[in-house]
Structure formats: C-alpha cells, structure tokens
Amino acid sequence: MLSPLSLLTAAAAVAALVTVHGQAALVSAQGGSLSLLSQLVWFDRTGARLGTVGPVANHGNIELSPDGRQVAVTILDTAVGTRDIWLYDVASAARTRFTAGDADENWAIWSRDGRRIVFNSTRNGPGRLDLFQSASTAGSAPEMLLENGMWPVSWAPDGRHILFVTSRRVGDAVDNDVMVLPLFGNRQPFPFSRTEDASENWAAFSPDGRWVAYSSTESGLAEVYVAPFPPTPAGMAARRRVSADGGSQARWSRDGREIFYVGQDRSLMVTAVNGEGATVEVGVMQRLFEPRFFFLDSHGFDVAPDGQRILVNTLVVSPTAPSRIAGVARTPPGPRRLITRAAEPGLRTTGVRRAGSARI
C-alpha cells in the first residue's frame, strides 16, 4: 500500500502511465490530451456492473459506512488543489461536504456504530497530516487525536483502538509501519508491525477485533498476512499468509469469513478464512474480476455488508475535462499548475507513475 512519500514542487516533472481499456497510454502533465476522472461503481462478484453512486469527479480514498448506507470519499477541490471529505448517500446519491477549506484531507474511517469519523488533515500546517475525530455529521467540531498520524486505516469494533500508517526514512528509501493508537488512557501509540527491512501497511481489523489483515514486503513482494490483535512476538511469528503472488488493500467481509484484496495483476481476489479458533485457517484464493481502478494509492474498493456487491473507484477518461495527473491540475487554456500537498498513501511522485498500480 503506502509507498515513499514526498511533496510535489513546481520543478517536478510529472507523468502518469495509465491503462485505458486494456491499453497502456502515457499521459504527460505537460499537455496530454486525456483527462482522468473517476466514478464510484457497484459491481457484483463476477464483475457485472450494477449501478453508480454520485457524480464523476477526482475521487480518492473510499470507505463504506458500517451499515453500507453512506460512503466517505475524498474529492479533489480544483480551486485550491487539495482534497476534502464528502459523504455520499448510497441510495439517493445525495452528497454532503464533510470537510472544507484549504487543508488537505485524504483519508477517513468510520467507527463501528457509524456515529464518528477519524480523518487526517493538514489544517495545522502544510505537509503534516494530523489525525482528528468528530461526529459523522457535517459541521461537527473535530478533536485532534494525534500529531503526524498520517493515515488512519481501521477502527477496532469495540472502538478502543485505531490502526494508522506512518512512514520513516531508511537510507535512501521510505518505509511504512502499521501503528496502533489507543483511544483511552494516555493514548500512547505503539507498533503493530514495524520491520526494519520491510514495509507494512493496508491494515484492517477483523469484524470481531481478534485479527488484523495487513500487507508486508518482507518476502520481497507485497503480500497479505493475518496476525492476532493485540500484537505479541509469538502472535506475529505465527501470522498466516493469505495471498500467494502479491496482494494489498485487504478488506474483511462483514461476517469475517472472507478477505478481499487486490492482486499483483490488479485483479480483485477473495480468500475464505476461519478465525474462530486460536489460529486463522486460510482457504483457497479465488479471482473475481479485474476492475478499472482509478488508482490504487488509496483504497480503491470496498465491500457491501452483504458481501455480494463491491464498490470500485472506477477510471473514467474524459477528453473535455481538466487534466488531473499525479497531482497536476491543468485548466485549459491557462498554464500548467502543480499542486503542492501532502502525498497520499502510496503516492510516488518521481518521474513516471503507474496510475492504478498496487504499491505497498
């Protein structure tokens, strides 16, 4: 999931390699004719399109509410070049702006009862992603939880812990770690998985809170693992690998019996699991379909409560819309404008970037 981080600068040379109808097309920020937007699209498990939620926009991270009635989604505000969080009503497609202003908010998660949202924001300073929580109604006053928490990725079902991902520099590289923030006591964060020679992220609590699915590059390739919570040396040593040939963005089904994830080839995969005992039993992997992901630097899909429908942030190509490639906004006929903002999880801003590639 989360890859090396950097801030875009006015001197950056940015391009994006995107896949359109199965064809690779290089779209340069310096005058490419294609514009990339996305729409939230429902699919069944065979890949059949069922419907859409909301309008076409530059969508980022998506997160369905626990009851499946709303989706929190980050949307690029082209006027200021940062993202805000919006709440879409799944049934009516009506949308409410949850955050507003010049700050960048690019990640949000729901509490199990759907009454609260934890999100990140640069409102306390550019390039610094702090964690906040507030009621899940627009206009609620947020409470700061953690300075430089970066990305909140999962909320425990009992409401007592949050998993978040941070980054750290290791030599010339930047790795990611999965951390735990208690929401009680002194709220002192501690590592869930932090390996010196690997990058871990895309963590998700199981519905019963006993397990965490996450990705790690310890084998040299991003793979999905399951380990017990809270973490112990023995528990981490006995973790189970879920994917076989690469995987990230793990999502649990609401009954805890399946783990969905994105494979190395960008296919949507699912594996049956049984976590009722002292260890997790992992079943056979199944390939569902290959969505046209907008990009996979943030959560590109989520699973409905029934486990039969999958909401995908789906690529839409519009030659008439403004270009938004890898952080670059160009509004014809004006000059190119580079967006300077805190990089989102997985955003790699060097040279050529594959939009939709699963990074860890």
Confidence of residue 318 (pLDDT cuts 50, 70, 90): low
Q: Which span out of 62-71, 133-142, 314-323, 336-345 was modeled with the highest average pLDDT? A: 62-71
In a domain? residue 1: no
CATH code, domain carrying 216: 2.120.10.30
In a domain? residue 2: no
Q: What is the pLDDT of residue 355?
A: 29
Answer yes or no: is pLDDT of 8 > 50.
no
Q: Which range has the worst mean pLDDT, 83-87, 112-116, 311-315, 353-357?
A: 353-357
In a domain? residue 56: yes
In a domain? residue 6: no
Burial of residue 293 (number of CB atoms within 10 Å: 0-12, 13-18, 19+): buried
In a domain? residue 111: yes
Answer yes or no: is pLDDT of 223 > 50.
yes
Q: What is the pTM of this model?
A: 0.81
Q: What is the pLDDT of residue 279?
A: 93
Q: Give the chain's mean pLDDT.
A: 81
Q: What is the pLDDT of residue 196?
A: 83
Length of the chain: 360
Answer yes or no: is pLDDT of 240 > 70.
yes
Confidence of residue 90 (pLDDT cuts 50, 70, 90): very high
Answer yes or no: is pLDDT of 13 > 60.
no
Q: What is the mean pLDDT of residues 268-295?
A: 96
Comparison of pLDDT for 353 and 149, the residue scoring more: 149
Q: What is the mean pLDDT of residues 272-288?
A: 96
In a domain? residue 349: yes
Q: Distance between CA atoms of 345 and 27, rounded to whole angstroms?
A: 22
Q: Distance between CA atoms of 74 and 97, rounded to whole angstroms?
A: 10
Q: What is the pLDDT of residue 177?
A: 96
Confidence of residue 127 (pLDDT cuts 50, 70, 90): confident
Q: What is the pLDDT of residue 339?
A: 28
Q: Which span out of 13-22, 76-85, 250-259, 288-297 was modeled with the highest average pLDDT? A: 250-259
Confidence of residue 260 (pLDDT cuts 50, 70, 90): very high
Q: What is the pLDDT of residue 126?
A: 85
**Total structural domains within the chain:** 1
Q: What is the pLDDT of residue 35?
A: 60
Cα separation values, 300 from 39, 61, 140, 319, Å: 11, 6, 27, 23
Confidence of residue 190 (pLDDT cuts 50, 70, 90): very high
Q: What is the pLDDT of residue 262?
A: 98
Q: What is the mean pLDDT of residues 254-259?
A: 98
Q: What is the pLDDT of residue 165?
A: 97
Answer yes or no: is pLDDT of 344 > 90.
no
Q: What is the pLDDT of residue 331?
A: 25
Q: What is the mean pLDDT of residues 10-33?
A: 27
Q: What is the mean pLDDT of residues 105-120?
A: 97
Cα separation values, 276 from 241, 254, 280, 303, Å: 17, 14, 7, 21
Q: What residues make up the domain containing 317? A: 15-354
In a domain? residue 360: no
Q: What is the mean pLDDT of residues 78-90?
A: 94
Q: What is the pLDDT of residue 324?
A: 36
Q: Which range has the worst mean pLDDT, 49-58, 103-112, 310-319?
A: 310-319
Residue-wise pLDDT for 159-185, tens only, equals: 999 999 999 887 777 889 999 999 999
